[in-house]
Amino acid sequence: MRFYRKIVMTMAICASASVLGPNCLAQDEGAGSAPGTEGQEAGFRSYLAAVRQRALLEGVTQATLDRVLPSITYNDRVVRLDRQQPEGASSAPVPNFAPYKARHVDASRINRGRAKYAELRPLLQRIEDETGVPEEMMIAIYGHETNYGSVMGNFNAPEALASLAYEGRRRALFEGELIAALKMIDKGVPQYAITGSWAGALGKPQFLPSVYLRLARDGDGDGYADIWRSEVDAMTSIANYFVNAGWRRGEDWGFAVDVPASFNRGVMRSLMSSPRCPRVFARHSQWRTIAEWRELGISPQRGFWPNDNMMATLIEPDGVGNTAYLLGGNYRVILDYNCSNFYALSVGLLADELRN
């Protein structure tokens, strides 16, 4: 959703995230199509005819399809933006986290986040009481995804998703999201809401259409989950996403630590391979209890430890000799929102700054 310009360490955020943030927005936001050739447009219209049949089978009404599909054209610009994502850069060296952190956990984002936190405090406290998702974590996601609602994108979502699906590299993903967007329209979501990032992410939380249908929630009781104009609904929906992804009430996401010079990294290297975002998870060590990490000489920079039984994994995002982080199970929930270590670390660190 907002989100974070072409840094290789985003790990193909737009390719793998459940929600697509500002890394997935064009730097020069705009909705204008760049039409393809006459033959390409003919092929696109033929593809939309096939989509129409699938959508009908999945329950989208003919009236919605008659209104939406003829109005969209192939948008070459979103395809070019998608091709610029570093999804194939598995051999590229991983940069240090510190420069990314400096841009995303900066004074401006912290100060704006604290102001927004104060403004929404009664609401956030109620949501945390109900869900266990910390108030500051909702605001940190809000700040990273759309800069507190100021950058949500203005691409026509059905057109963008249809163009990306037609291009074909990830047709299953984008065609499914196109069908979901059509279902949203069929359910009465207004046209102003069906705009977002070039990858089809929508609203203040930058939910993909399928995520909106599953997890968006009405927080103010008006019968409509308006994640575009209602901060109540947006924060409630972010919290619901975290709960659905397995957030553990009262447990740290992670914290900064110092690693002793004697630490044996080879012994602690993870032997597991993740089917999702393997390069992201490959940077994590084996899991150990907090008590075991303490015995290995790891020390928390904040001066205190969480519960000895909490399980955690180690990451050293700036290399040996620099600040490292022990990451709990809730860190994996942030990664579920956007599968990038840099993203998840900066969300967690911003949340800590907002709480302090």
**What is the residue-level pLDDT of the chain in tens, covering all 356 positions?**
333 322 323 333 443 355 554 344 332 233 344 445 667 888 999 999 999 999 999 999 999 999 999 999 999 999 999 887 654 455 667 889 999 999 999 999 999 999 999 999 999 999 999 999 999 999 999 999 999 999 999 999 999 999 999 998 889 999 999 999 999 999 999 888 899 999 999 999 999 999 999 999 999 999 999 999 999 999 999 999 999 999 999 999 999 999 999 999 999 999 888 888 899 999 999 999 999 999 999 999 999 999 999 999 999 999 999 999 999 999 999 999 999 999 999 999 999 999 97
Contact 335, 314 (CB under 8 A): no
Is 322 inside any structural domain? Answer: yes
* Structural tokens at position 241: 């996403």
Report how far residue 327's alpha carbon sits from residue 287's, in angstroms, rounded to the nearest whole number. Answer: 9
Is 316 inside any structural domain? Answer: yes
Is 145 inside any structural domain? Answer: no
Is 40 inside any structural domain? Answer: no
Is 167 inside any structural domain? Answer: no
Contact 183, 58 (CB under 8 A): yes
Is 119 inside any structural domain? Answer: no
Contact 164, 157 (CB under 8 A): no
**Full domain range(s) for residue 258:** 254-327
Is 31 inside any structural domain? Answer: no
Contact 263, 288 (CB under 8 A): no
Is 196 inside any structural domain? Answer: no
* Structural tokens at position 267: 């012994």
Q: What's the domain count of the chain? A: 1
Q: Which residue has the tokens 């969209």?
A: 72
